[in-house]
Amino acid sequence: MTVPSTNCSPQAEACAPRDANLNALWCRAIAEELARGGVGLAVLCPGSRNSPLLFALADQFRDQALSHVDERSGAFIALGFARSSQSSQTPALICVTSGSALANCAPALAEAQAAHLPLIVVAADRPWELHGCSAPQTMPQAGAFRRLVDCELDLGEPVADDRAIRSLRARISRLAQRGGPALLNVPLREPLLAAPGAVWDAPANLSALARHGRIQDPYTVEHFSHPRRWPSPLVADEPDQTPRRAVVVAGAGADPKTLHGLTALGLPVLCDAINGQRDCDHPNLICHGDALVSGPLGQDPPDLVVQLGDVPLSRQVYEWLDRCTGPWVIDEPDDRDRDWLARASIRLGPRSDPFSPELLGLLRVPGDSAWCQLWRDGEVAARTALRAAMASEPWGEVLAAHAVCSHPAWRHLMLANSMAVRHGNLHLVPHPGRTVHGNRGVNGIDGQIGTLIGIALGSPDHDYDQAHRRIDLSGPTWLLTGDLALLHDLPALAALASLRKPGAIIVLNNDGGGLFDFLPVAQHTGYQHWVRTSHGLTFAGIANQFGLRYRRCTSRAELDAALTESAAEPTGWSLVECAVSGLDTVQRHRSLLKAMSG
């Protein structure tokens, strides 16, 4: 990024808009600095108190602004956009009015905080004298999310003061560039908007820099230190040492560049589906660790674990890792504590030295090549067993999930929490050129459709390789979800009508919370009513209400046809309902794990 100019030119100032009132100037400055600071999407939720912000943001973001009526799903749309561009850390914002509208952003902020995603909540607030006196639509907004945001700005009311407006621009500019979740609280006093066509004469003592900023550039450019890099590639150059049964574990949030630096060590890499590492087919890549540790390979615990990203999704895998008899290295480049199992012997934070003698001394001891080969052979056998099992698998949740995960048409796949992400983790094999997403920060079932929409909005249609050749990245965005997660986020469906990209929502309708069938609570009296919450609903009416193409499937052939039909549509969205019984899912899932375990 170039160094910003120190002022705006007379020509630019002459072309700059005139403001209708002080609120308009204040909100325009906010919108300009958010856009110039790199925010890529503005989700705008209607309201009165935030109307000056809405008009300013809509004018600034134009095609990158989306109107959405529901704050909770709108916040997840912004989060999904930030997630889709996680490698480039492009922020997204949601603008809400005062009162409980802000509280609806809490679930998305919790996920953004756990996953360190740049979600910015811009909230209008009431002036100070309306707080603490039972004024309508007023709640304590300043500090409401202190534990969920990395940065919070509680602005004062708009003032026509040169230094105050310059300070406003500087702070908004820095907030937009810092990454992580943030809250911008903006008190606004009535009259909120001037009469249509009114023009306000700004005080003569306001400088052009205060009124217009630096035109195209951020008011302040933030320069961040380059993140540390691991040795790439690492070399096991101490062959006289006893080989280690070492593993690399790549969970959600794993740094691909760090993983690349470890590939030369000859270690098995147990890789979750949603961390982005299964888009390559490295020979040591282990996709079916949850099955393999349930068999003979799980009898011997590792004596060195290198953990990249979060703890693995699979309970079988992390319980096996918890038997580790030696050192445990955790890479934490964003300084978030990932030592959930309390096993870390070496923790690499953002300021740690990955070239330290202690760490290199561990990693330069060669891995046990015979043990690594067992993992590689086990992975090949597990994939073969998966294909064989699915060829004769009866219709049900397991087969439907496999059909979706193995279908060649999708470009981006969102796995909803609960059973869908677990099915995906078991069924997804390496898929170069395609991406898999999931909200595994706090693992809630809320916001799955909103996140899907944000991913579709933020995913590029093309890129360029190292030779500057164009790479086509277009293709459908799909969501694999359960029925409860879909019911939980129905308001987000309203935003699908504005999407020009094609996609599909595939719902595994097992009539309730099927994940709980795997847990001890399923044995208790009252389980079906109070925990599993069977509802008896289908989704044809919902699809019709929101203008979605609809197919109901009761066989693999019907599902394959529905997915192929949906993928052939250049625009529009489909809702594909898989009518499955939850009665045998536990048994079918466990049988598949056993068949794949060797």
Q: Both tokens of residue 479?
A: 């969501």
pLDDT at res. 355:
59
Cα(484)–Cα(89) distance, integer angstroms: 30
CATH number of 10-198+205-212: 3.40.50.970
Identical fold for domains 10-198+205-212 and 246-375, yes or no, is: yes
Domain boundaries, the chain: 10-198+205-212, 246-375, 393-596
Give the pLDDT of residue 235: 47
Are the beta carbons of 414 and 476 closer than 8 angstroms?
A: no
Tokens of 216: 């195209």
CA distance 508 to 576: 9
- CATH architecture, domain 393-596: 3-Layer(aba) Sandwich (3.40)
Averaged pLDDT, 432-454: 92
Q: What is the mean pLDDT of residues 248-272?
A: 80
Separation CA 391–CA 204 (nearest Å)? 77
467 φ/ψ angles, rounded to the nearest 5 degrees: -90, 15
The average confidence (pLDDT) of the chain is 88
- The phi, psi pair for 583, rounded to 5°, reads -70, -35
Helix, strand, coil fractions of the chain, as percent rounded to 5: 40, 15, 45
Nearest to 398 by CA among 573, 286, 517, 530: 517
Instruction: Tell me the three state secondary structure of residue 329.
Output: strand
535-564 pLDDT per residue, tens: 999 999 999 999 999 999 999 999 999 999
pLDDT, mean of residues 356-368: 69
- Distance between CA atoms of residues 517 and 324, nearest Å: 30
List of residues 6+ apart from 143 with CB closer than 8 A: 152, 154
What's the maximum distance between 2 C-alpha atoms anywhere in the chain? 82
Using a CB cutoff of 8 Å and minimum separation of 24, what contacts does 313-318 make?
A: 313/251, 313/252, 313/272, 313/273, 313/274, 313/421, 313/422, 313/425, 313/440, 314/272, 314/289, 314/290, 314/422, 314/425, 316/289, 316/290, 316/291, 316/593, 317/249, 317/270, 317/289, 317/290, 317/293
Express each pLDDT in 65-76 by its tens digit.
999 999 999 999
Other beta carbons within 10 Å of 342: 7
Residue pLDDT, tens place only, 135-176 = 888 888 999 999 999 999 999 999 999 999 999 999 999 999
Query: For residues 17 and 8, what is the distance between their CA atoms, to the nearest angstrom?
Result: 13
Residue pair 553/254 in contact by the 8 Å Cβ criterion:
no
Which of 405, 407, 438 has the alpha carbon at shortest distance from 566? 407
279: left (phi over 0), alpha (psi -120 to 50) or beta: alpha
What tokens were used for 403? 């059909």
Residue tagged 């019911």 (tokens): 487
Choose among 509, 444, 448: nearest CA to 479. 448
Q: Per CATH, the architecture of 246-375 is what?
A: 3-Layer(aba) Sandwich (3.40)
pLDDT value of position 6: 47
Residue 331 pairs in a beta bridge with 308, 348
21-63: pLDDT as tens digits = 899 999 999 999 999 999 999 999 999 999 999 999 999 999 9
